[in-house]
Each structure stands twice: as structure tokens, then as C-alpha cells.
């Protein structure tokens, strides 16, 4: 349960050039280190149905034990509770496993770690609350947030819409989530990573913990220099985040995640909509870019 080695590294002599070093680094990319997923919701029910489902979430919580977070070091240097490590072990050993009880891993301790993992100078969301402001009375805030999440009374707020320029002159829309939404999203992503990081292929680099664009660039560099490469394909999916199907993405998630309360949290975030210049708009298709959970 304390074994966290998920990357097998190849040793090289000290006189190898940069390409060999790159090959050593990208060896990490072609083993079973995996990826976190983009998670999105299904159609939102009406208010009456919403209330009944929220109450159901609260009732379901009473049947689970909230275990304290005992953190052990991981390969990335971050802590991981013994319970989360068990989820990763189960996900690795049973590839067809559907996890029906995950929300109890969302503890006050995990919420605290998620808060400190956020960027402290990030722009505030629609709530206007900054990281520094939320840090005042943090423990009481986290206890209250934890209670609302597990009782089913937590409400996701709309993302604040901003635009950043693209090299071609167009603008990329981003959604800045409220601070509490960021905290809960980060906690859920940490839980889901234990499953999806052992499912995705080693040559995947996008939005993955402990990976970045430099590693992604090293992989084709090594491939070109060490293999017989005749052509390179550069492709992109146009407007991917703007056109994601909520229904189909949820179906993919349900292959591994069967905890209805986790799925309901995801639904709340993606159906929260966006606010631009004080005007709220619903998100029936796609997901706002920039949120922790949509990465």
C-alpha cells in the first residue's frame, strides 16, 4: 500500500547528449503513468427533482464513514491519503471496476490541501472572493464547505467569462470559477486522478499531474532522432471544449465512476452556466475552459 512507483526509468551513461537525456525523461511517458479526465454533467433536472436528489445525497452520506486523511508521500512529492492510495491500487488491479463509493474520500483534510494547491494570485470568480480573503477563518470555512458537499446542499456558482487574445487575432473564452468551486473541484480531481492516472496511456501529456509541454516536445524529438520517422502529423480538434457533449462525456465517466454523488457534483459545475457583464447564460453544450475540473 505504500508503493508509489509508477514510472520505470532507464539509466544512461553521463556522456550521452541531450537527446539521450530526453529519451530518459520520455521513458516516463511510455509506461503506465496515466491521465486525469475531463468531467462533465448530464441535463439538469427541474427544481423539484433537484431538491429530491439533493436530499437523497444527504441520506446516502449517513451510510458512509468519513475517515481521517493520513497522508503519505507520493512520487510527485504531494501527500496522498491511505484511502486514496487504495483507490489507485484497486483501479490498477481491476480495470473494469466501477467505483460506487468515492465521495467519502473528500475530507476536510483534502479540501485544505486543495485550497493550498490553488494559485494564490488568481483572479476571483463571480463571488469576488480571493485566496487571501478565504484564508481568513479557513478551518471553519472548510468544515462548513465539507458539510454542504456531503449533505447535498452545496451549490455551484456560474463561471465568470473573460477573454484572452489568440495568436491569430481571435479571442479564447475562459471561465473563472468561484473560489469554493475551485476547492471542491480540485478535491474531486484528486480523487478521480487515482482512477484515470492508471487508465490513460503513457504518451498522453495534456492536463496531467507532473507533466508539461516540455516533456511533450521531448517525446517527438527523441522519436525523430532515434527512430525511422518519415512524417509528422500536427492535428487539433477545432472548438473541442466548446462542443463537448455533456451526455456522451458522462457516459464515458460512468465506465469507471458509479458514485452518483460524484456525478451530481460534476453535473452541478457544468450546468452552472457562465456570467458575462452581469448576464447569466446556460451551458447546454461544451464546458467553460479554465476551470480545475474541465482540465
0.75 surpassed by pTM: no
Question: Can you tell me the mean pLDDT for 221-225?
Answer: 87
pLDDT of residue 12: 34
Given this model, what pLDDT does residue 293 score?
Answer: 66
How many angstroms separate the CA atoms of 165 and 173, rounded? 9
The arithmetic mean of pLDDT across residues 226-249, rounded, is 84
Q: E strands within 59-170?
A: 71-73, 79-81, 159-165
Q: Report pLDDT for 278.
A: 80
- Which range has the worst mean pLDDT, 81-95, 184-198, 231-245? 231-245
Residue 156, phi then psi, degrees to nearest 5: -80, 140
pLDDT at 63 over 60: no
Cβ-proximal residues to 59 (8 Å cutoff; 6+ apart), any chain? none
Amino acid at each position: 500500500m505504500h508503493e508509489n512507483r509508477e514510472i520505470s526509468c532507464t539509466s544512461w551513461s553521463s556522456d550521452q547528449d541531450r537527446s539521450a537525456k530526453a529519451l530518459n525523461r520520455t521513458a516516463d511517458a511510455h509506461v503506465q503513468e496515466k491521465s486525469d479526465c475531463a468531467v462533465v454533467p448530464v441535463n439538469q433536472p427541474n427544481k423539484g427533482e433537484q431538491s429530491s436528489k439533493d436530499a437523497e445525497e444527504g441520506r446516502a452520506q449517513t451510510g458512509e464513514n468519513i475517515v481521517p486523511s493520513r497522508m503519505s508521500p507520493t512520487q510527485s512529492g504531494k501527500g496522498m491519503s491511505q484511502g486514496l492510495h487504495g483507490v489507485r491500487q484497486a483501479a490498477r488491479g481491476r480495470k473494469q471496476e466501477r467505483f460506487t463509493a468515492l465521495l467519502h474520500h473528500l475530507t476536510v483534510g483534502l479540501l485544505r490541501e486543495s485550497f493550498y494547491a490553488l494559485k494564490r494570485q488568481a483572479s476571483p470568480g463571480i463571488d469576488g472572493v480571493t485566496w487571501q480573503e478565504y484564508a481568513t477563518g479557513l478551518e471553519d470555512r472548510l468544515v462548513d464547505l465539507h458539510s454542504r458537499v456531503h449533505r447535498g446542499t452545496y451549490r455551484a456558482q456560474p463561471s465568470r467569462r473573460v477573454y484572452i487574445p489568440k495568436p491569430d487575432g481571435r479571442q479564447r473564452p475562459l471561465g473563472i470559477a468561484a473560489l469554493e468551486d475551485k476547492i471542491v473541484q480540485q478535491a474531486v480531481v484528486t480523487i478521480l486522478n487515482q482512477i484515470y492516472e492508471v487508465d490513460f496511456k503513457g504518451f498522453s501529456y495534456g492536463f496531467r499531474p507532473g507533466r508539461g509541454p516540455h516533456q511533450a516536445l521531448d517525446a517527438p524529438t527523441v522519436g525523430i532522432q532515434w527512430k525511422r520517422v518519415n512524417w509528422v502529423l500536427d492535428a487539433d480538434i477545432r472548438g473541442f471544449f466548446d462542443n463537448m457533449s455533456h451526455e456522451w462525456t458522462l457516459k464515458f465517466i460512468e465506465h469507471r465512476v458509479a458514485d452518483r454523488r460524484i456525478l451530481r457534483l460534476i453535473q452541478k459545475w457544468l450546468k452552472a452556466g457562465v456570467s458575462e457583464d452581469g448576464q447569466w447564460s446556460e451551458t447546454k453544450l461544451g464546458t467553460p475552459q479554465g476551470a480545475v475540473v474541465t482540465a
